[in-house]
Amino acid sequence: MGRSWGAGGRGRRGLKGRRAQVGLPRRLVIGDAPTFASNSLLPSCPVSSRVPDPSTMWKRWLALALVTIALVHGEEEQRSKSKICANVFCGAGRECAVTEKGEPTCLCIEQCKPHKRPVCGSNGKTYLNHCELHRDACLTGSKIQVDYDGHCKEKKSVSPSASPVVCYQANRDELRRRIIQWLEAEIIPDGWFSKGSNYSEILDKYFKSFDNGDSHLDSSEFLKFVEQNETAVNITAYPNQENNKLLRGLCVDALIELSDENADWKLSFQEFLKCLNPSFNPPEKKCALEDETYADGAETEVDCNRCVCSCGHWVCTAMTCDGKNQKGVQTHTEEEMTRYAQELQKHQGTAEKTKKVNTKEI
């Protein structure tokens, strides 16, 4: 007969042994600090008695003080700017700033808010939002309008990379300088026994030589006069010789406009004399568009066509556009572009009249 194991025999002794192995806490007496067996599984955490370094604490307080001063100064500066710029309107792409003298001035926006609302500009470039478009227009000094909302779509139309052939004020003034230099070289001083030729007499001689009998020089007659001296009119602003020839004619028109007082595109002798008077200083003209003025050489785009400010007038290319927009296929004929250019000139004329009226009032 085998030996049987009861509940209180070896089984209890084995359980007691296992309790000792896991290291259960001993009996805790109230009021005493808790004690654990030497083989307890709970880690012991030593308490640090290190005192902070005074120099470290001083540096922290100094940094906090500097930050506080900077915040207070920034708030005061912002309040001062808001007060000075309260009644100043700078327009799209610009913001009011305070100069060192405490005066308001308009500058290009330094940084736009990063909200995402893409728009396509008239220059074919996608901008993150309206602010970025106007800021770019301000920084580059160009006229950029919102074409439509969203990213720019790829255009299959003709690229507006080619600018129209125009005579800039610098080209006009250079041609005028060369003509005057050529005419002055023909001046003959009076001798002991002979009469020379002064500047006015030389101009009179050429005027009568190319006048068809109506006592005026039109653009074709003026051009023939200019072409008498190939060196003087050899302006090479373009790599293409045909464009340079066209440039010569355009600059002749610009010269006629300088002194054409009755706007008939013909010069009387007095107007001719004024045009080529060495002491005459041609005025600089600017182009007007949407209540803004643009210097000579400024450019703007209309679909696939480019317009350039030349001697106070907008001159545009006349390409046919086949690009697609929100309304579908749209084409611009030469007639339409001519009409657009005429509208620009009309706006320019209105701006000049307004300027004259304001000048008289002053």
Least confident of 26-40, 81-95, 103-117, 128-142: 26-40
Instruction: Give the mean model confidence (pLDDT) for residues 319-348.
Output: 51
Q: Which residue would you say has higher pLDDT here, 185 or 79? A: 185
User: Residue 2 pLDDT > 50, yes or no?
Assistant: no
Q: Please tell me whether the overall predicted TM-score, pTM, comes out greater than 0.75 for this model.
A: no
Angstrom distance (rounded) from CA 252 to CA 249: 5
The sign of the CA dihedral 36, 38, 41, 46 is positive
Instruction: Give the mean model confidence (pLDDT) for residues 9-37.
Output: 46
CA–CA distances in Å: residue 137 to residues 93, 242, 255, 295, 349: 7, 34, 32, 15, 25
The model's confidence at residue 303, banded by pLDDT at 50, 70 and 90, is confident
Query: Phi then psi for 149, rounded to 5 degrees?
Result: -75, 150
Among 262, 258, 305, smallest CA distance to 284 is for: 258
pLDDT tens digits, 25-47? 444 444 444 444 444 444 555 54
pLDDT tens digits, 54-98? 777 777 777 777 777 666 555 555 556 677 888 888 888 888 888
Q: Which residue would you say has higher pLDDT here, 15 or 140? A: 140
pLDDT number for residue 76 = 57
Instruction: Give the mean model confidence (pLDDT) for residues 337-341.
Output: 54
pLDDT number for residue 254 = 94
The model's confidence at residue 21, banded by pLDDT at 50, 70 and 90, is very low
Choices 2.60.40.10, 2.40.340.10, 3.10.180.10, 1.10.238.10: CATH for 167-283: 1.10.238.10
User: Residue 331 pLDDT > 90, yes or no?
Assistant: no
pLDDT number for residue 59 = 76
Choices 3.40.50.300, 3.30.60.30, 3.90.740.10, 1.20.1250.20: CATH for 76-149: 3.30.60.30
Q: What share of the chain is helix, strand, coil (3-state, %, to 5)?
A: 40, 15, 45
Residue ranges matching CATH 1.10.238.10 in the chain: 167-283
pLDDT number for residue 167 = 92
Instruction: Give the mean model confidence (pLDDT) for residues 137-161.
Output: 79
Residue 167: what residue type? C
Instruction: Give the mean model confidence (pLDDT) for residues 218-231.
Output: 89
Residue ranges matching CATH 3.30.60.30 in the chain: 76-149
Angstrom distance (rounded) from CA 329 to CA 326: 9
pLDDT number for residue 202 = 93
Q: Output the average pLDDT for the chain.
A: 75
